[in-house]
Amino acid sequence: MRKYILSTLFIVSLLLSWSTHLSAQVNADTTQKSEKKAESFNAGNLIIDHIVDNHEWHIAEIGHTEVIIPLPIILVDQGKLVTFCSSKFEHGKSVYKGYKLETERNSDKGKIVKVVPGTMETDKSVKKPLDFSITKTVAGVFVSIIVMILVFGSVARSYRRNEGHAPKGLQSLLEPVILFIRDDIAKPSIGKHYNTYMPFLLTTFFFIFFSNLIGLIPIFPGGANVTGNIAVTLVLALFTFFIILIKSNRHYWIDIFNTPGVPWWLKFPLPLLPVIELAGLFIKPFVLMVRLFANITAGHIIVLGFISLIFIFGQMSVSLAYGVSVVSVFFSLFIDLLELLVAFIQAYVFTMLSALYFGMATESHEPATHNN
């Protein structure tokens, strides 16, 4: 009997939702009248609002009060520094010091714009002020930094205390991962001088891994979509790009502009292959950026979509929503488990490809020696 328990639970939940939906059809008129008072649920807006950056950290809505953390706004307007708390904007309803949050659904939505003095309209003739505010994503980056400093500070201290002894505690949890990065990512890709790149590879791997994991926690301080923000992944990819540029040797540039072993008519008079190779130099970090961003954002959108499904069905009838919530929560749980795997895999792929590019940039052209 025990092996059928999962399938019976599934079938019972489906039957419950369908039977209550049939009975709710009878009461459809009375429920619809009361629902016209509340706003209709817009799943697209909910998902987009959870994915994009925001000037305040929205935690919950208890009853009619919203629990939010207003984050500081730091603007540089034509050389002048302006700082204030984002609660002065009152969710975009009021103007403060000549600025307001753009609420119309155009490309400036959610950003801070200047207003025509005395009115609430956007002043379209001046440029927007430079926005250096601590937004939700920036606060999420700070949370990741604090977690990393706490974890690795404690691990480093235990290494100093436990010198000569076996590792214990958090040390023994992280040592296999650090050695995995050294032995399976850095050493095979970079070769002899892997130690110079180890700090960057370790920091990148753990920052991406911890940020991905913290982004899966639905409540404060987790839930800020850090690695799902293309600006964050752009910066990570730019680090890789600049390290490649700085550490590349002559042979790397000769392989780009004068690839050996390739027919001459691909390089002169029309430099077809050099252009392709130069594009590759830019495209490889660009792909790193888009891969991480798309994977993490897609995972968040899927989980948010399953949860929104409950509320979409709730618009039709509340009991149907209860039935669907069982199925929806199971699917969200499955996707969340998959996202745990994706969090690790994306950190691993980013770090491995960075190490590969560093190895390619610093390859020395000694004659190949066979070590077996």
Binding residues (CB under 8 A) for other proteins: these are 287, 290-291, 293-295, 298, 345-346, 348-349, 352
Comparison of 303 and 310: residue with beta carbon closer to other proteins: 303
DSSP for 167-200? Answer: --THHHHHHHHHHHIIIIIIHHHH-TTGGGTHHH
Nearer to other proteins, 103 or 133 (CB): 103
- In this structure, the dihedral spanned by the alpha carbons of residues 102, 105, 110 and 111, taken in order and rounded to 10 degrees, is -60
Residue closer to other proteins, measured from CB, 148 or 177: 177
Q: In the chain, what are the helix, strand and coil shares in percent, each to the nearest 5? A: 65, 10, 30
Nearest approach, Cβ of residue 63 and other proteins (Å): 33
C-beta closer to other proteins: residue 229 or 346: 346
**Minimum CB distance to other proteins, residue 291 (Å):** 4
Nearest-approach distance from CB 57 to other proteins, in angstroms: 24
Picking from 237, 255, 285, the residue whose alpha carbon sits closest to that of residue 360 is: 255
Of 34 and 107, which CB lies nearer to other proteins in the complex structure?
Answer: 107
Cβ-based nearer residue to other proteins, 265 or 286? 286
Q: Do residues 84 and 72 touch, judged by C-beta distance below 8 A?
A: yes
Q: Residue 288 CB, nearest distance to other proteins (Å)?
A: 9
Do the Cβ atoms of 154 and 174 come closer than 8 Å?
Answer: no
Least CB distance from residue 213 to other proteins, whole Å? Answer: 17
Amino acid at 4: Y
DSSP-derived 3-state class of residue 58 = strand
Q: Measured from the CB of residue 348, what is the shortest distance to other proteins in angstroms?
A: 7
Q: Given the complex with other proteins, which of 105 and 168 has the nearer CB atom? A: 105
The DSSP bridge pattern shows strands 130-131 and 72-77 to be: antiparallel
Q: How far is the CB of 130 from other proteins (least distance, A)?
A: 24
Alpha carbon 366 to its chain's center: 41
Distances (CA, A) of 339 to 24, 40, 269, 307, 368: 36, 30, 50, 15, 41
3-class SS letters over 70-116: ECEEEEEECCEEEEEEHHHHCCCCCCECCEEECCCCCCCCCCEEEEC
Please say which residue, 68 or 349, places its beta carbon nearer to other proteins: 349
Bridge partners, residue 61, by sequence: 66
Tokens of 94: 């009021």
Interatomic CA distance for residues 111 and 182, integer angstroms: 42
What's the closest the beta carbon of residue 21 comes to other proteins, in angstroms? 28
Q: Which residues contact 40 (CB under 8 A, 6 or more apart)?
A: 315
